[in-house]
Amino acid sequence: MSGFSPSLPLRKDPRYAGFALNATMLDVIRQNFKNLVLTAPGERMMIPDFGVGMRNYLFEMNDPLTHSAIRGRLSSQVNKYMSFISILNLEFNDNGADLGDFSNSLQIVITYQILPLGLSDTLLVEI
């Protein structure tokens, strides 16, 4: 069996005589997109601007201003590093126990289209 790239996190898989692999281009793009979203700027060697840095928003207010900042950062990073992706929809859902008027977590649902493949996919990020 063959694949395109190692599947992250690395895990043993006897089918591939080593580590599990991404078997389709959709898997590769999904993994790379998730990496872009979760990587903090300055975390990637030699590319200090790379990454949305979703965890940087962990202690920000869960309000439209923060949602707008996330939306803008995500859009600029996708345009710069993964221009073959088009973001179709971005939803911010409160998820978790309510603490008065505040929720202690945020679920972000990103629906995107991979233009060269003509496929759509959804990435779920929780912070």
The architecture in CATH of the region 5-126 reads Roll (3.10)
Would you list the domain boundaries of the chain?
5-126
Q: pLDDT tens for residues 23-72?
A: 788 888 999 999 999 999 999 899 999 999 988 888 888 889 999 999 99
The pLDDT score that the predictor gives to residue 57 is: 86
Q: pLDDT tens for residues 70-116?
A: 999 999 999 999 999 999 999 998 755 555 555 567 789 999 999 99
SS3 state at 26 = helix
Among residues 16, 14, 12, 13, which one has the least CA distance to residue 3? 16
CB 60 within 8 A of CB 43: no
